[in-house]
Structure 1
Amino acid sequence: MTLFRHPRDRIPVLLFATVFALDLTVYFTARSWWLPLLWLALWVIPKGWISAWNHHHQHVPMFRHALPNRLLEVVFGFQTGVTSHAWFLHHVVGHHRNYLDQEKDEARWKRADGSTMGEVEFSVINTLLAYPRAYAVGRAQPKAQRIFLAMAALQVALLGVLFWHNWYNALFVFLLPMVASLYVTVWATYFHHVGLEATEHTQASYNIVHRGYNLMTGNLGFHTAHHAKHGVHWSQLPELHAQLAKDIPTTLYRQPGIPFVWSNPEAKIEPGETELGAIVQ
């Protein structure tokens, strides 16, 4: 019996473990004030990409057994600010069920009066409410809620130990990247869905078909396909997108933004205006 549910997860997990080992190396060895700051600056965007893989893991766990999944989620928690089962409750059980209804969506982009939030407003509000909303969803998911609360307590305890040992390095190597990555995760959700009021999956998400973006995020740009069948492994999303493409309006394609596109990032495009590409099976 193999350790991984899907063999294509082996290389990503190795990369996440390597990044975490580098984080620990900087944390334990940095003696100058500038190195942790530089580390934060260098890794703020890549850890935002790791957030996409944490997202994929919450949909389709990468390991077959609970223990390695929980260990990976501790690593993800330090890299992305999203602890074990927080994304499962808030996003998989919550957002995916309710995203077509802006009165219920756990990542809603509408204000109470029905108007559309700005991106900063959305990102700040939904970052602050991410964990309370995950907890609220968990009331109806007692098994997942128990794991969520226990693992969140473990994550806080481990972070507390790191701060006790070296508060400065813990702040810049772990806590601030966690906060930044959570914010970036929420911000990305805004551009996947803002302004789209629909009753069908094919009309409710923006798609990004840029090769580099999908390489770094595990094909998260094929967002319509992801919402149509959210239990599909990330490597299968390009194939599913190809099946759905005829029903996706051409207006629902966007640029990936910085650092992949520096001119007019996040602009709407025609699907043929950028390089089609993905991580394929």
Structure 2
Amino acid sequence: MPVVALAQYARPELIPYLSPLGCYLALSAGVIAHNHNHCPTFKNRRLNLLMGLWISHFYGYPTFAWVPTHNLNHHKFVNKAGDATITWRYTNKNNWLVAFTYFFISSYWQSDPIKQYIAKARRSNPPLFRQIILQYGVWAGLHLALIGVAIAMYGLGRGLMVWTFAFLIPALFALWTIMFFNYIQHVHTDPWSEHDHSRSFDGKFLNFLLFNNGLHAAHHEMPGAHWSTLDEAHARIAPLIHPELIQRSFFGWCFRSYVLAPFFPSFGTKQIGRAPFEPPTGEAVRLAAADVDALESGINAART
């Protein structure tokens, strides 16, 4: 990651070739951050803190944020009411517009659990609060330093351009893509089901590049398992999962769902099993804007 990023500082003419690679590496940093928060990389707490500081810089946001939004919230509610990252907040349709804008909507709703987590740490867990402040300080401070270095090397305009392609664009790509993954892995799945709660992609190429991130059902059922063990875990539960929820090709699925489906609806996805707003009690949940606070009271339960 630092080699690819800083090479663009040394040789800006390489930006068109290295920036796409930087985007992939930033996405990898996001997946590593996700895995690191579920199953810490080291036994030593200080090394784990340093690991979080390091990958935060390339991923685009301090890694502690995975805890309140993902570990404590998403894994508890799994796309049901209470999950800050639900795919069906304003519609249960799955099309390119909903998928593309999911990042902006989900980011907005995830901000509240993050704020509450920080506030609670400040009140009752000073060591955790200091770690959060440290992550923010290192993340922002290092970016400001790199902006300064780029401007010193190339002047204001060109320097900002170099930093943007070396760090900012890869980070934004990583943040958007991580949330897009979450969207497609849960849209039109059945969160009330034992095994049909997630969509998995079992293609070898994708899972090699992204640390088995495509094996999402296995991850949800064993969230503390190391990513390298998910192949075996997926093989055990695959026969129990609805066939439509195991796809071979991530890119093929996206092409069918968002390029072909607008013209040929049969290529689009359909709700598998019970919708997230149709709990087994039979009482439909309507997540209207005026009702969000009440319906998402589960978020507050996760914070405490």
- TM-score, reference length from structure 1: 0.76
Q: CA deviation at 1:140?
A: 4.9
Given the alignment, which residue of 134, 143, 157 partners 1:150?
134
Q: Deviations over 1:2-37 (max 9, x none)?
A: xxxxxxxxxxxxxxxxx223323433x23x4x4335
Q: Is the counterpart of residue 40 in structure 1 residue 19 in structure 2? A: yes
1:277 aligned partner: none
Trace 1:206-225 onto structure 2 (pairs within 5 A): 206-225=199-218
2:88 aligned partner: 110
- Residues 53 and 63 of structure 2 are in contact (CA less than 8 Å); yes or no, is this contact kept in structure 1? yes
Q: Is the counterpart of residue 76 in structure 1 residue 55 in structure 2? A: yes
Single out whichever of 230-239 and 140-149 deviates more from structure 2: 140-149
2:102 aligned partner: 122
- Residues 89 and 135 of structure 1 are in contact (CA less than 8 Å); yes or no, is this contact kept in structure 2? no
- Residues 79 and 186 of structure 2 are in contact (CA less than 8 Å); yes or no, is this contact kept in structure 1? no
Residues 93 and 251 of structure 1: CA distance in aligned 2, closer, same or farther (over 3 Å): same
Q: Secondary structure at the match of 2:15?
A: helix
2:223 aligned partner: 230
Amino acid at match of 1:24: L
Given the alignment, which residue of 182, 191, 201 partners 1:189?
182
- TM-score, reference length from structure 2: 0.71
Amino acid at match of 2:36: H
Q: Secondary structure at the match of 1:179?
A: helix
Measure, in 1, the Cα distance between the counterparts of 2:144 and 2:106.
Answer: 25
Question: Identity over aligned residues, as a percent?
Answer: 20
Larger % of helix: which? Answer: 2
Q: Secondary structure at the match of 1:202?
A: coil
Residues 255 and 135 of structure 1: CA distance in aligned 2, closer, same or farther (over 3 Å): farther
Given the alignment, which residue of 247, 250, 258 partners 1:254?
247
Q: CA deviation at 1:216?
A: 1.1
Q: CA deviation at 1:145?
A: 5.0
Q: CA deviation at 1:232?
A: 0.7
Q: CA deviation at 1:129?
A: 4.4
Q: CA deviation at 1:226?
A: 0.5
Measure, in 2, the Cα distance between the counterparts of 1:261 and 1:249.
Answer: 16
Q: Is the counterpart of residue 85 in structure 1 residue 64 in structure 2? A: yes
Measure, in 2, the Cα distance between the counterparts of 1:50 and 1:197.
Answer: 29
CA RMSD of aligned residues (A): 2.8
Q: Is the counterpart of residue 164 in structure 1 residue 134 in structure 2? A: no
Amino acid at match of 1:250: P
Structure 1 alignment gaps of length 5 or more: 1-18, 270-281
Measure, in 2, the Cα distance between the counterparts of 1:265 and 1:226.
Answer: 24
Measure, in 2, the Cα distance between the counterparts of 1:242 and 1:196.
Answer: 19
Q: Deviations over 1:175-233 (max 9, x none)?
A: 22111110111011111101223313411100111111111111122111100110111
- Residues 47 and 79 of structure 1 are in contact (CA less than 8 Å); yes or no, is this contact kept in structure 2? yes
1:20 aligned partner: 2
Residues 262 and 122 of structure 1: CA distance in aligned 2, closer, same or farther (over 3 Å): closer
Q: Deviations over 1:72-130 (max 9, x none)?
A: 223312222132211122111121112142x2112111125x64461012122223444
How many residues end up aligned between the 2 structures? Answer: 245
- Residues 83 and 155 of structure 1 are in contact (CA less than 8 Å); yes or no, is this contact kept in structure 2? yes
- Residues 59 and 231 of structure 1 are in contact (CA less than 8 Å); yes or no, is this contact kept in structure 2? yes
Measure, in 1, the Cα distance between the counterparts of 2:205 and 2:89.
Answer: 33
- Residues 224 and 241 of structure 1 are in contact (CA less than 8 Å); yes or no, is this contact kept in structure 2? yes
Of structures 1 and 2, the one scoring higher in RCO (CA 8 A, sep 6+) is 2
- Residues 226 and 232 of structure 1 are in contact (CA less than 8 Å); yes or no, is this contact kept in structure 2? yes
1:173 aligned partner: 166
Measure, in 1, the Cα distance between the counterparts of 2:205 and 2:243.
Answer: 21
Amino acid at match of 1:152: Y
- Residues 127 and 182 of structure 1 are in contact (CA less than 8 Å); yes or no, is this contact kept in structure 2? no
1:64 aligned partner: 43
Q: CA deviation at 1:62?
A: 0.6
